[in-house]
Amino acid sequence: MSSFRKRTAAPQQALPPGTRANHHNNTLLVSTGAPALDDVLGGGLPVGGLLLIEEDRQTGYSGTLLSCFASQAIAAGHRLLVVDADHSVDPQTQFPGWASATPSQAAPPSDAAAADPMKIAWRYQSLPRVSSSEEPGRGTGGAAPGAPFCEQFDLTSRIPAAAIDNAQIDILDADALARMAADERYGGDTYRCVLDKIAALIDAGYSSLKPAGPDAARGILRIELRSLGSGLWRGSDSQSILRFLHGLRGLLRYSFATCVASFPSHLYEDGSGERMPVVRRVEHLCDAVVELESFEGTHASPADIVARQTRAKAGAAAQDYHGFVHIHKLPRLNSLTASVGRLSLLHTGGGSANNLAFRLRRKKFCIETYHLPIEGGVGERRTPAEGHGCASGRPDPLAF
């Protein structure tokens, strides 16, 4: 009797719902709720990573991204923690609803749609199609069954009350933070009480240091920090925000949790308009940093903003875009270099050299390569100037 036995692969644990594996750096990805932002980050936000969104001044586009991140958590069945020290949080009135009646797994393309050739040019027929419900990154593996990786949201609608009641949502708004920080343990330090709350949630079932059974399903914890470092985030000293980010990053590394924080960097400027050194240190403590620079609030007074909004759109160079997107830092978890150059369709890994711009539409937040309008558009006069051309009987000096 032979003593050799056939070696079989050990059963692997299924991925958490609403996640996707990135085989380039062995990380697990979740969607930010905006497919364009997922593409810029290299397919999505890594689990265990921290994304910092530097807020646009005098506009609320960063808040739209945070709302889509929260709605995506509800659609994927993830647990959500929302921290806002400036305002109260109401999920039913602030989180956008999905475009369909209920969130569902994206259906595969039908045979008729797959057989329909592209009508643009023959050389594009062999290219793969990218759906809005799929991850726009290339080569990032398959998504976990049971929940869509990225749901399509309608910014004009709101999530039904039944979906919010069934979701796991923890909210720390201004009133709740004031009560927690008043405890003797914290002495009014908002950063310490928020960090303890996050640590308690991770220990409750989202820590990667605690082994899970073969049949136990892993879950994802999403953390959303709004306007981190604003005037209502109170610390013991000027280094409180740095200690908070250092501790938060250590907690996320060994957990099935991910965090998106917005940071009002325009509040950390001196009299000459230059940013303080603490902004650079905050960016260094985050895994990815994205800045939104809106056209309406870029070093403009309220009178200038009103004038831009009431200006006629015909012939305006930036009428199709709402601002620029600056990529200051890309996620590099489990790798020395960012894999976004191989996975992104928009970004090639060279900083902000792509001149990316964003536009807000009814159902999605778009990020595209910024370009000027075509010369000679419909808003320009196409009649020849007086004294040139056939009307004057003399040859046009510009004709060739």
pLDDT of residue 360: 85
Strand order in the sheet with 79-84: 169-172, 79-84, 221-226, 257-263, 50-54, 288-294, 323-329, 356-360, 365-369
CA-closest candidate to residue 163, choices 98, 106, 107: 98
**DSSP alpha helix (H) spans, 227-347:** 240-253, 277-284, 302-310, 340-343
Tokens representing 388 are: 């040139």
How many Å is the Cα radius of gyration of the chain?
Answer: 25
Name every residue whose Cβ is closer than 8 Å to that of residue 30 and which is 6 or more positions away in sequence: 18, 19, 20, 44, 45, 47, 72, 76, 78, 220, 222, 258
pLDDT of residue 123: 53
Q: Rounded distance, CA 97 to CA 108, Å?
A: 22
CA atoms 105, 106, 112, 114: torsion sign: negative
pLDDT of residue 228: 95
pLDDT of residue 29: 93
pLDDT of residue 139: 40
Segment-wise mean pLDDT, segments of 10 residues, the chain, 400 residues: 65 80 87 91 92 89 92 94 92 86 50 49 52 43 64 87 92 90 88 95 90 73 95 89 96 95 92 88 95 76 51 48 89 78 64 72 82 53 44 52
Phi, psi (degrees; rounded to nearest 5) at 111: -65, -35
CB atoms within 10 A of CB 17: 20
pLDDT of residue 378: 46
Tokens representing 149 are: 């990786």
Q: Looking at this protein, which amino acid is placed at residue 332?
A: R
316 with 352: CB under 8 angstroms?
Answer: no
The pTM of this model reads 0.77
**CATH fold label, 19-103+128-375:** Rossmann fold (3.40.50)
CA distances from 28 to 24, 124, 149, 366 (A): 11, 31, 12, 24
The helix, strand and coil proportions of the chain, stated in percent and rounded to the nearest 5, come to 25, 20, 55
The ranges assigned to domains in the chain are 19-103+128-375
Tokens representing 329 are: 């830092």
pLDDT of residue 167: 92
